[in-house]
Amino acid sequence: MDFQKSLMLSLLCGTMANGIGCSQVSFGPGPSNPAANQTNQSVGGLNSHSETFNFDNNQYSGKVDILFVVDNSVSMSPLQNNMTTNFSSFMNGFIARNFDYHLAVTTTEAYLSLPQFHNSPGVAQFRDGAGSNLSNIFDITVQVPSPIATFVTNASIGSTGSGDERAFSSIKATLDSNLNAGFLRSDSFMAIVILSDEDDFSDPNRPEYSWTQSGGIVDHDYQNPGLESVDSYVSYLDQLTGTTGASRRYSVSAMTVLDSVCQAQHQSAGSESSIIGQRYIDISQKTGGELASICDANYGADLTNIADRVIQHSLPMVSLSITPIASSVQLTTTPADPALTWTVSGAKIIFNKMPNQGTTIRVDYNSN
């Protein structure tokens, strides 16, 4: 008789962060997540069910592709240093859960690569540091021996970049660039994290530093007719990932100026052009991302929260045929996996990590 471990948890629907859509994981023989075995019966007015799932490691790879978009304008050195100093707080969760990650850095000036601006394709290539401090590694993967140290080098990009920050069009220029081919995988979850003290003002037809030109569009002009909408970039990311709505396989998080208190504090420290990241807040809320304030003294907790949100999006799960009574759910794994825990969210069982290859998972539960 196989040794089995039964785990019994009584968890309410929505134990994980509200509104988060996790990546759909396929257990069993096909992509539509059918149970290998399923039985149903009615006892005492409740319907009793048993479903068994066979985990095939080839059907879920635990992949996450993470792009940091770092403002490299004149005011950003202290903020970059805060982020890189505390970056282990972000990365440790992915390493501990054996995620297959890609990790890269771009800037808020990558849009200058486009023909209508500097026409310099290399500006959109992932960054590997600045000056003589270079890693020569543009896409950090699990094969890189020191991922945290390599990221610190890559994200230490200085503060000599353009003060006309356009994070959204820079994201698009970076992800569309052939120089970064292979970063985004078709079966991964994509996490974008923006670090900036000025909001996005992407406009494909507005010249860089337009406010310095006679009659040019002023800085921070939300009424500019050419300002591309936040929704247009949500649509771009939907199309890029082939997902939308609750099933989105991406999120955009932002570390930015969240309110007038932080704005005043940052301006008094010498960053006069700092403004509230209204558009960053909007895209984060629309894509299930996390928000953090650049005015926080230590970014450690902020980076942990962002990583936790991405991990919650990316965790493997199985979908039951019927929504269970959460307190009735019993889970049995064969062979036993003491490190595997789970939560119930609607008709989904969400795991804390990828089950080991060859694991059989039996779920017994009641429904009304």
pLDDT tens figures, 292-343: 999 999 999 999 999 999 988 887 778 899 999 999 999 999 999 998 999 9
Given a cut of 60, whether residue 160 has pLDDT beyond it is yes
Domain residue spans of the chain: 5-59+316-367, 63-313
Given a cut of 80, whether residue 238 has pLDDT beyond it is yes
Residue type, 30: G
Structure tokens of 100? 């297959």
Output the pLDDT for position 270: 84
Output the pLDDT for position 38: 67
Output the pLDDT for position 79: 97
Output the pLDDT for position 36: 46
- The answer to whether 353 and 338 are in contact (CB under 8 A) is no
Given a cut of 90, whether residue 24 has pLDDT beyond it is no
Of 250, 254, 198, nearest in space to 83 by CA: 254
Q: What is the mean pLDDT of residues 80-89?
A: 98
User: What average pLDDT does the structure give for the chain?
Assistant: 87
Residue with tokens 């009735």: 328
Highest average pLDDT, of 35-44, 56-65, 226-235, 239-248, comes from 226-235
Query: What's the Cα-to-Cα distance from 270 to each of 158, 265, 276, rounded to whole Å?
Result: 17, 9, 16
As a whole number of angstroms, the distance between CA 208 and CA 216 comes to 10
Given a cut of 80, whether residue 18 has pLDDT beyond it is no
Output the pLDDT for position 103: 98
pLDDT tens figures, 253-277: 999 999 999 999 999 988 888 999 9
Output the pLDDT for position 247: 78
pLDDT tens figures, 278-290: 999 999 999 999 9
Output the pLDDT for position 43: 60
Output the pLDDT for position 209: 97
As a whole number of angstroms, the distance between CA 69 and CA 103 comes to 11
Given a cut of 90, whether residue 61 has pLDDT beyond it is no
- The answer to whether 311 and 97 are in contact (CB under 8 A) is yes
Output the pLDDT for position 82: 98
Percent of the chain with pLDDT over 90: 70
Instruction: Give, in degrees to the nearest 5, the angle at Cα 102 between 99 and 107.
Output: 140
Up-side HSE of residue 315: CA atoms within 13 Å toward CB?
26
Q: What is the mean pLDDT of residues 125-147?
A: 97
Output the pLDDT for position 250: 96
State the SS3 of the chain: CCCCEEEECCCCCCCCCCCCCCCCCCCCCCCCCCCCEEEEEEECCEEEEEEEEECCHHHCCCEEEEEEEECCCCCCHHHHHHHHHCCHHHHHHHHHCCCEEEEEEEECCHHHHCCCCCCCHHHHCCCCEECCEECCCCCEECCCCCHHHHHHHHHCCCCCCCCCCCHHHHHHHHHHCHHHCCCCCCCCEEEEEEECCCCCCCCCCCCCCHHHCCCCCCCCCCCCCCCCCHHHHHHHHHHHHCCCHHHCCEEEEEEECCCHHHHHHHHHCCCCCCCCCHHHHHHHHHHCCCEEECCCCCCHHHHHHHHHHHHHHHCCEEECCCCCCHHHCEEEEECCCCCCCEEEECCEEEECCCCCCCCEEEEEEEEC
Exposed, middle or buried by CB within 10 Å (0-12, 13-18, 19+), for 368? exposed
Given a cut of 60, whether residue 29 has pLDDT beyond it is no
Q: What is the largest CA-CA distance in the chain?
A: 83
Percent of the chain with pLDDT over 70: 87
Residue with tokens 């010249």: 207
- Range from 2-6, 61-65, 75-79, 95-99 carrying the lowest mean pLDDT: 2-6
pTM: 0.79
Output the pLDDT for position 348: 83
Model confidence band, residue 358 (pLDDT cutoffs 50, 70, 90): confident
Of 227, 229, 226, nearest in space to 283 by CA: 229
Q: What is the mean pLDDT of residues 120-149?
A: 97
Q: Which CATH number fits domain 63-313: 3.40.50.410, 3.90.245.10, 2.60.40.420, 2.40.30.10?
A: 3.40.50.410
Residue type, 159: S
Given a cut of 50, whether residue 13 has pLDDT beyond it is no
- Range from 51-55, 59-63, 123-127, 356-360 carrying the lowest mean pLDDT: 59-63
Up-side HSE of residue 27: CA atoms within 13 Å toward CB?
27
Output the pLDDT for position 31: 30
Model confidence band, residue 8 (pLDDT cutoffs 50, 70, 90): very low
Given a cut of 70, whether residue 5 has pLDDT beyond it is no
Output the pLDDT for position 14: 33
As a whole number of angstroms, the distance between CA 77 and CA 225 comes to 32
As a whole number of angstroms, the distance between CA 324 and CA 69 comes to 41
62 or 133: whose pLDDT is higher? 133
Given a cut of 60, whether residue 71 has pLDDT beyond it is yes
